[in-house]
């Protein structure tokens, strides 16, 4: 943040020096009109800077949210494949693994999903998944086919763990704070610029200015509201895990 402030101070210094130098130029003229060259140039640049910051503040979290949503389906599909792989185990072992997978899904779509709005995953989720992996690793393998079945299930559990780690990263992901500051700052500058330039809106000119202020305020609020993949306007719902439950029932029923 210190470097950003230093860069801004340097830019202001350049403007002040340029103003002093060009004031002595023979062809230079005073410009104190709200719609003069200085006002027009500054207003256009402020608008462009706001649009740039606003676009980045919207596109970055939108992309993150889409990636996080896709990853939830990757994880749920890995759970389904693990559930299917467990059907090749002896009945007692299969029932124990399947019950553990169901409990994991219920935890993810319930308590853990609410925790992800704060950027955290449940420690219990990691414990349940690690317990399943240890159970599978400890399964006896009487022959080569049984060993292959056990290894296949272990691979599916590793895929779940990998998707879970990615979901943990998605829950913590957020755009740089400076981007939101730039969005709010340039938005405020655009809003106040006519007054700073010396204009005094009267009568019907207040209407479009008020409309712009309302839309600009909505846009800045939107930029702040969608910063988290699992909270706010772009919050990813647990649909991937809710839709998974009927599929688990079908696999367990042999359908």
* Beta-carbon contacts of residue 115 (< 8 Å; ≥ 6 apart): 121, 122
- Residue range 166-177, pLDDT digits in tens: 999 999 988 888
Provide the pLDDT confidence category of residue 40 given band limits of 50, 70 and 90.
low
In a domain, 18, yes or no: no
Alpha carbon distances (Å) from 125 to 107, 110, 233, 247 = 7, 11, 26, 21
Number of domains in the chain: 1
In a domain, 155, yes or no: yes
Provide the pLDDT confidence category of residue 46 given band limits of 50, 70 and 90.
confident
pLDDT of amino acid 211: 86
Residue 224 has pLDDT above 80, yes or no: yes
In a domain, 228, yes or no: yes
Q: What is the mean pLDDT of residues 113-121?
A: 92
Q: What is the mean pLDDT of residues 114-138?
A: 93
Place of tokens 């240890």: 134
Instruction: Name, of 39-43, 72-76, 183-187, the range with top average pLDDT.
Output: 72-76
pLDDT of amino acid 151: 92
Q: What is the mean pLDDT of residues 226-244?
A: 92
**In terms of residue numbers, what domain contains 200?**
48-252
pLDDT of amino acid 196: 76
Mean pLDDT, the chain, whole residue set: 84
Residue 6 has pLDDT above 90, yes or no: no
pLDDT of amino acid 113: 95
SS (H, E, C) the chain: CHHHHHHHHHHHHHHHHHHHHHHCCCCCCCCCCCCCHHHHHHHHHHHHHHHHHHHHHHHHHHHHHHHHHHHHHHHHHHHHHHHHHHCCCCHHHHHHHHHHHHHHHHHHHHHHHHHHCCCCCCHHHHHHHHHHHHHHHCCCCCCHHHHHHHHHHHHHHHHHHHHHHHHHHHHHCCCCHHHHHHHHHHHHHHHHHHHHCCCCCCHHHHHHHHHHHHHHHHHHHHHHHCCCCCCCCCCCCCHHHHCHHHHHHHHHCCC
In a domain, 224, yes or no: yes
Place of tokens 């890995």: 78
In a domain, 29, yes or no: no
In a domain, 87, yes or no: yes
Least confident of 3-12, 113-122, 162-171, 217-226: 3-12
CA 186 to chain centre: 22
Q: What is the mean pLDDT of residues 122-147?
A: 90
Question: pTM (2 decimals)?
Answer: 0.78
pLDDT of amino acid 145: 86
Residue 238 has pLDDT above 90, yes or no: yes
In a domain, 23, yes or no: no
CA 204 to chain centre: 41
141 compared with 127, residue with greater pLDDT: 127
In a domain, 201, yes or no: yes
């Amino acid at each position: 943040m210190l470097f950003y402030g230093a860069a801004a101070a340097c830019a202001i210094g350049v403007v002040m020096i340029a103003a002093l130098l060009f004031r002595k130029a023979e062809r230079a003229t005073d410009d104190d009109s709200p719609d003069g060259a200085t006002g027009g140039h500054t207003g256009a640049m402020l608008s462009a800077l706001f649009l740039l910051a606003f676009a980045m503040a919207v596109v970055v979290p939108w992309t993150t949210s889409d990636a996080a949503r896709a990853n939830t389906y990757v994880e749920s599909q890995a759970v389904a494949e693990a559930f299917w792989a467990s059907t090749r185990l002896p009945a007692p072992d299969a029932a124990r693994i399947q019950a553990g997978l169901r409990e994991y899904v219920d935890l993810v779509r319930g308590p853990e999903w609410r925790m992800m709005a704060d950027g955290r995953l449940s420690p219990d989720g990691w414990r349940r998944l690690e317990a399943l992996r240890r159970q599978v690793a400890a399964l006896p393998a009487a022959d080569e086919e049984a060993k292959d079945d056990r290894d296949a299930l272990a691979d599916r559990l590793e895929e779940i763990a990998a998707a879970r780690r990615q979901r943990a990263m998605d829950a913590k992901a957020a755009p740089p704070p400076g981007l939101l500051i730039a969005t709010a700052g340039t938005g405020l500058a655009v809003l106040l610029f006519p007054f700073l330039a010396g204009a005094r809106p009267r009568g019907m000119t207040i209407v479009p200015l008020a409309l712009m202020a309302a839309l600009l305020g909505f846009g800045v609020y939107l930029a702040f509201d969608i910063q988290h993949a699992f909270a706010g306007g772009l919050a990813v719902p647990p649909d991937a895990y809710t839709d998974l439950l009927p599929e688990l029932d079908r696999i367990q029923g042999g359908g």
